[in-house]
Each structure stands twice: as C-alpha cells, then as structure tokens.
Amino acid sequence: MKVYLNGKFVEQSKAVVSVFDHGLLYGDGVFEGIRSYNGLIFKLREHIDRLFESAHTIMLTIPLEKDELISVVKQSLRINRLRDAYIRLVVTRGEGDLGLDPRKCAQPTVFIIADKIELYPKKLYEEGLCLITVATQRNVPEALNPQIKSLNYLNNILAKIEAINAGYEEAIMLSPSGYVTECTGENIFLVKGKQLLTPPPFIGVLRGITRQTVMELAHHQRLHVQEELLTRHDLFNADEVFLTGTAAEIVPVVKIDGRVIGRGIPGRITKKLQQAFRQVTKTAGVTY
C-alpha cells in the first residue's frame, strides 16, 4: 500500500509523522472518511467542503486547494488499484513543541490512506444490530462542536469501550439533558408510521453526509422527514431504527437496551432505504 504524505506517495512502512506532531500530541487536526464504489468516489466534493469548514473553524490552513486535494484523493485510489475503498483524509496542525500553542507548528501535515474497510460483518446488515445506551455522555457542542470532524475522538472511544465491555458492538450516547444524540461513529434514525425522525445537530450530532443522503432518499419515498429531540422511550417504541455513516452505510437495529424494536427484524423501510442508497452510490460520485 502507498500512502500520500506531505506531497508524495510513500510505502506504508515509511508513512510516518513526527512524535512532536500536534495531531498526535493533542488531537489537533481534522479528517474525513470517504467511500468509493466501483470506481466512483461518493460525495467527494461534499466531504472536501466539510474538511475545509472544520479546518477553518479551528484556524488550520490546509496547504492545498480543494481541487488539488480532490486530485490527490483520486491518485491515492489509482496508485493502490482500488475501486471499492475507504479513504481516510487527515490534516494535522503539524510538528511543533510540547506546548499547546498552535503558532509553534510551522507546517500542517497532510496524509491520505486508501484501503478496504468492513465496519460490521454482513450478518448484522441482514439480521440487525443490538445497541446499548452507555453512561459516557456526548460532548456538549459548546466544548467541542460535533460539526468539527476533529482528531479528538476520545469521547467516542470511551463510549465504544463501554459497549464492548458490555458485550455490544455499538453504543448510543445521550446529551447531558438525556436526549439521544448519536452512536460512537454513526447517526441514528427511527421510523414511526410514515415519519422518519433523527436528532437535530444542535443537540450534539454531526451533520453526516450519509445522514443527509438518507434524508433526501426518504423524502423521495414520501416519508415525513424531521429533525426532532428524541428520548430512549422514543427509540424503544419505534417501528424501526437504523444507523447511518460513511463506513457503516445503513445498519438496521433490532434491539436497544434489551427492548425489541418493532418485530425484532430489519424493517421494510430500512430495507427500502438500503436499496435506494446502493443505487445512489452508482451515480452520485466522482470518477477517477
């Protein structure tokens, strides 16, 4: 595998950054996870735009223009001969000293990894996922806005550890007020009749690109799509629940905190949205 690192492609074993890089020392940086399907990079422009927005908010200057970065993403797939892949694009503050001051970092670090990914086994897409609500709360937006896809994912990792220790693959994280926010790496939706509901961004939710795509697909299927404050009670009594994410795509949920959701199998609307999503990945992409 060849990895893009600061202007050139190097072998995986040589793709290294300094131990003084503030991305490593402090999680000071931003990233995007991007998918390609059969030679098409899904929603590439949207991912690049979001990367630049995250960087702008933390006052990090990306040393490439958007079109240059798009070109390098395409090269990463071509050079590794990948058509179906997961691309991790990362920009860190760069090498500095042991202090927090970002002014001590002269040049940002940029690297891109293109590889395969399987977040969940195929069986879970067919039979559904069981979730647990964990004690680790979602960061409040005033502390670390979830719209910034930063390298600081410890909040999510702590929740993931709780889920694993309890014997689950994934966890639901609540806001300090007890509202449902999202899972450790995915947005969450529920179906109730003809309604498709998902938590609003202000509660501590990333505006996921797959999330937005699913909301658009649901609208075309005449579902009433709405962002709404949700509680665990709402999830327990939903007809269907599913998760969305770039790596996860659309994953059905059949049980939450021991409560069976709907009939305990992936629901009809979830399946229809999975099919519609597979179709849109064949057209809503950039060739390389």
Residue 180 has pLDDT above 90, yes or no: yes
**CA dist., res. 32 & res. 51, Å (int):** 6
Res 288: pLDDT:
76
Tens digits of residue pLDDT in 121-174: 899 999 999 999 999 999 999 999 999 999 999 999 999 999 999 999 999 999
Res 283: pLDDT:
85
Exposure letters 167-182 (e unless 16+ CB within 10 A, then b): ebbbbbbbbeeebbbb
Res 284: pLDDT:
78
- Amino acid identity for residue 238 in this structure: A
**CA dist., res. 222 & res. 105, Å (int):** 50
**CA dist., res. 267 & res. 218, Å (int):** 14
Tens digits of residue pLDDT in 42-82: 999 999 999 999 999 999 999 999 999 999 999 999 999 99
Tens digits of residue pLDDT in 238-277: 999 999 999 999 999 999 999 999 999 999 999 999 999 9
Residue 95 confidence class, pLDDT cut points 50, 70, 90: very high
Could you give all domains of the chain from N- to C-terminal order, each with its CATH number? 2-115 (3.30.470.10), 122-280 (3.20.10.10)
Q: To the nearest whole number, what is the mean pLDDT of the chain?
A: 96
Residue 182 has pLDDT above 90, yes or no: yes
How many percent of the chain have pLDDT more than 70?
100
Task: Kindly list the catalytic residues.
Answer: 149
Angle between helices 209-220 and 268-280 (to 10 degrees): 110
Task: Write the CB contacts of 119 (distance below 8 Å, at least 6 apart in sequence).
Answer: 185, 245, 247, 248
Residue 186 confidence class, pLDDT cut points 50, 70, 90: very high
Q: Mean pLDDT over residues 204-220, rounded?
A: 97
Res 49: pLDDT:
98
Residue 119 has pLDDT above 90, yes or no: no
H/E stretch holding 260 reads strand 259-260
| Nearest residue to 69 via CA among 92, 52, 86, 94 | 52
Res 285: pLDDT:
75
How many percent of the chain have pLDDT more than 90?
96
